[in-house]
Amino acid sequence: MMDMTFDVVVVGGGHAGTEAAAAAARCGAKTLLLTHKLETLGEMSCNPAIGGVGKGHLVREIDALDGLMGRAADAAGIHFKLLNRSKGPAVRGPRAQADRGLYRRAVQALLRAQPGLFLVADSAEDLLLDTTGRCIGVVSGNGRRIGAGAVVITTGTFLRGVIHLGEDRTPAGRVGEAPSVGLALALARLGLPMARLKTGTPPRLDGRTIDWAALEAQPGDDPPEPLSWLTQRITNPQVACAITETNEATHAVIRANLHRSAVYGGRIEGVGPRYCPSIEDKVVRFADKGRHQIFLEPEGLPGGEDGDTIYPNGISTSLPAEVQAALIATMPGLSRAVILRPGYAIEYDHVDPRALRPTLELRAAPGLFLAGQINGTTGYEEAGAQGLMAGLNAAALAGGGAANRVLSRAEAYTGVMIDDLVLQGVSEPYRMLTARSEHRLALRADNAGLRLTEQGMAWACVGPERAAAHGAFAKAVAEALAWAREAGATPAQFAAAGIAINQDGRRRSVLEALALPSAADPAPLEALFPRLREMPMAVRTQVEAEALYAPYLQRQAAEMRALEREERLAIPQELDFSAIPGLSTEMRQRLAKAQPATLGSAGRIAGITPAALAALAVHLRRREARFT
């Protein structure tokens, strides 16, 4: 007998869990979110910042599907920056430094306002399975049996988590919170492939003890650019960050104490993130570099609960507290800085994501979905995007439908990430980078809504406010592009307006003119075509990006169509790869282990040869012909 039953149960209240629970509830599923402490829902355990290059693309995609992260970041943002502004639109990354307390409260307010979502402070200690191995609920810490049509596990760093600070080891999911051991054992009993990873955080500094006058200030953008398309403007006061750097004295302190680092002292088996290394890693791996930049980022507004706390981005460490104090004191502006809380490394269990379907459902336990760091990723944004997709699929499955909410690599960075995870697995914590996408000119942060919101509406996860805003914006962009393709001028008219152009007699459209080098100065074009000046900036951004990338986008569109044809050729779950003629034993083993969902995904498995892919394609098409 069940004590209570829900459509979807989500375990964990971090960035993956909150997005999963909210997404499932938006789809109409009666959803329970189980978390150790309700007051830590939406906690930013590491840097209180959202977005960046690659990561900002994920935030915009979460937002396009009506997720929480972008809106919460805008409500809490105190320092906004569009990274790579001088580069092309495809690699620009919106980022916001947030007030930690304001962000947590914004997430909690959004969750409490979500109909059909129930929040309970408790742990999940075991899984409930039926006789077929399907997950049908969880057992909570107080012994309640909670039934569910689908379960989403988003444990972050809590699965058998251990904090390392110098020679000290403390079982914890994060500072002051117990690890999840019972659930780790329950997952291990399923026979899942599991391993250890590690991540870390820097010491927190008291901003009142920093010599700010000795440092280079880093102001945010003015005006700040919101992360959510629903945010009209940022209303919080904005603060500046600052830059300091390590030096030879800093490095000497670190080298002299490497044996006391948990990483270099041999006390950690897990692999850390390549793109966010500890300061010990930087000093060892980049021994030729005499300095490393450190960004001093406020964790809150002045006068607020976190207003005096500074996050020194770039010196994640597991060295003993007294060594951390010594190395901090060697840096400009920090000679008298007081550490409020030492940095530490944390080691935790994760599941090999190759055990998952593209829906993030475990193949070994139907009805059980995993999202976030449990799948081997690092970062709030990667966790949030996975959580949202897992929540959508869990709601679909619990509602009696198929768990088939999947975004392709051609549609979204979210699709790129999940495809990478379930096909390639991880050897280190996975971080989203724009370089991971073969279609990054089309998958920009600025067009996430145009790419995904209509799909979200079809999945019933987009509310009426966003649907209306999207419809109006899409109409405005379509009209602006149609005008830009039609309107134009002769070379003589361009020259008379002061715009350099070949005098070959050929009329150019506005769209062509926007791609000219002379378009870097917008004034002459605006004088010749006043409608450009009247366009809303968001609409004009779309027109300018289309102009800049038009030739490349046409080629990418053809590549996408070819990819879509391969992705449409599905591989049945029951297919016996050993029965396919022309496949070597090695190819059969690789395919059987990866269990690709489509011909396209089979081609992305490491080591699969073109000949093996051709043999698989012939077999699938023959099979398709027999059943149609």
What SS3 string covers 17-81?
HHHHHHHHHHCCCCEEEEECCHHHCCCCCCCCEEECCCHHHHHHHHHHCCCCHHHHHHHHEEEEE
* CA 417 to each of CA 382, 462, 508: distance values in angstroms, whole numbers, following the listed order: 8, 22, 40
C-alpha–C-alpha distance, residues 359 and 370, integer Å: 9
- The pTM for the full model equals 0.92
Exposed, middle or buried, 80 (CB in 10 Å: 0-12/13-18/19+)? buried
Q: How many CA atoms lie within 13 A of 2 on its CB side?
A: 14
Q: How far apart are the first and last CA of the chain?
A: 45
Q: Are 35 and 156 in contact (CB under 8 A)?
A: no
CA distances (Å), 59 to each of 19, 295, 448, in order?
11, 22, 9
- pLDDT the model gives residue 276: 81
For 163-216, what is each residue's pLDDT tens digit? Answer: 999 999 999 998 888 899 999 999 999 999 999 999 999 999 999 999 999 999
Name the DSSP letter for residue 306.
T
Q: How far apart are CA 187 and CA 120, in angstroms?
A: 22
Q: Residue 344: name the closest of 372, 324, 314 by CA.
A: 324
Question: C-alpha distances in angstroms, 143 versus 120, 173, 329?
Answer: 14, 21, 50
Please give the pLDDT value at position 507.
Answer: 95
**What is residue 570's DSSP assignment?**
B
Max CA distance (Å), the chain: 83
Radius of gyration of the chain (CA): 26
Q: How far is CA 309 from CA 35, 204, 205, 333, in A?
A: 26, 6, 6, 15
The average confidence (pLDDT) of the chain is 93
Report which of 4, 9, 14, 16 is spatially closest to residue 32, judged by C-alpha positions: 9
pLDDT of res. 294: 97
- Where b means 16+ CB within 10 Å and e means fewer, 562-579 reads ebeebbeeebeeebebee
Q: β-strands 135-140, 124-129: how paired?
A: antiparallel
- CA nearest to 568, candidates 441, 414, 410, 448: 410
Q: Are strands 368-370 and 31-35 parallel, antiparallel or unpaired?
A: unpaired
pLDDT value at position 628? Answer: 61
Q: Which residues of the chain have pLDDT under 70?
A: 1, 559, 562-563, 628
Helix (H) or strand (E) holding 152: strand 145-153
Residue 92 in contact with residue 83, Cβ under 8 Å?
Answer: yes
Nearest CA among 339, 345, 310 for reference residue 325: 339
Judge whether 101 and 95 are in contact, CB under 8 Å: no
Q: What is the pLDDT of residue 267?
A: 79
For residue 25, the Cα-to-chain-centroid distance in whole angstroms is 21
Angle at which helices 413-424 and 55-64 pack, to 10 degrees?
A: 110
DSSP 224: P
At 126 the three-state DSSP class reads strand
At position 442, the amino acid (one-letter code) is A
Q: What share of the chain is helix, strand, coil (3-state, %, to 5)?
A: 40, 20, 40
Q: Which two tokens stand for residue 373?
A: 């760091």
DSSP string, 330-356: TSTT-TTPPEEE--EEEEEEEE-GGGB
Q: How far is CA 485 from CA 438, 505, 508, in A?
A: 27, 18, 9
For residues 296 and 311, give the distance between their C-alpha atoms in angstroms, rounded to a whole number: 6
CA distances to 75, 197, 234 from 194, rounded to whole Å, are: 37, 10, 43
